[in-house]
Amino acid sequence: MTSNDTATTAAALRAAAGRLMRRVKHEDRIPLGQVAVLGALDRDGAMTTSDLAADQRVRQQSMARSVGLLLDQGLVARRAHPTDRRKTLVDLTPDGRAALEQERGRRAGWLTEAIEAELSAEERALLVRAVPLLERLAAH
């Protein structure tokens, strides 16, 4: 494969991934940024707003807004930091965990249906083999 072929493939992959993500987002009931915050808290545990901002690569002010909206919905709660009384931690509430699981289920359900409806058995097997490659690219 030439460098030009690789560039063409990269452009096509970016466009296809973008369309797929927009379609998956269409299934969302909670905005993507808020789902990402819930997911980070589920994956990594309680964090400060600053740590969440760094994790999500957004400004602290933007994260403070997102956390505020999640607090208003009862999906996260604040609690005192165990070692630094100047800080507070943000953590998932039981309602937040339930909302996150519903979002994940809705997204996975749509994607499962699409894979089964649109792809042949051979194409599904190819997709299974492609997932680790996509993960490696995402980690680069």
42 vs 92: CA distance, rounded Å: 7
- CATH number (1.10.340.30, 3.30.70.420, 1.10.10.10, 1.10.1140.10) of 3-139 reads 1.10.10.10
pLDDT at residue 31 greater than cutoff 90: no
pLDDT tens string 68-111: 999 999 999 999 999 988 999 999 999 999 999 998 888 788 88
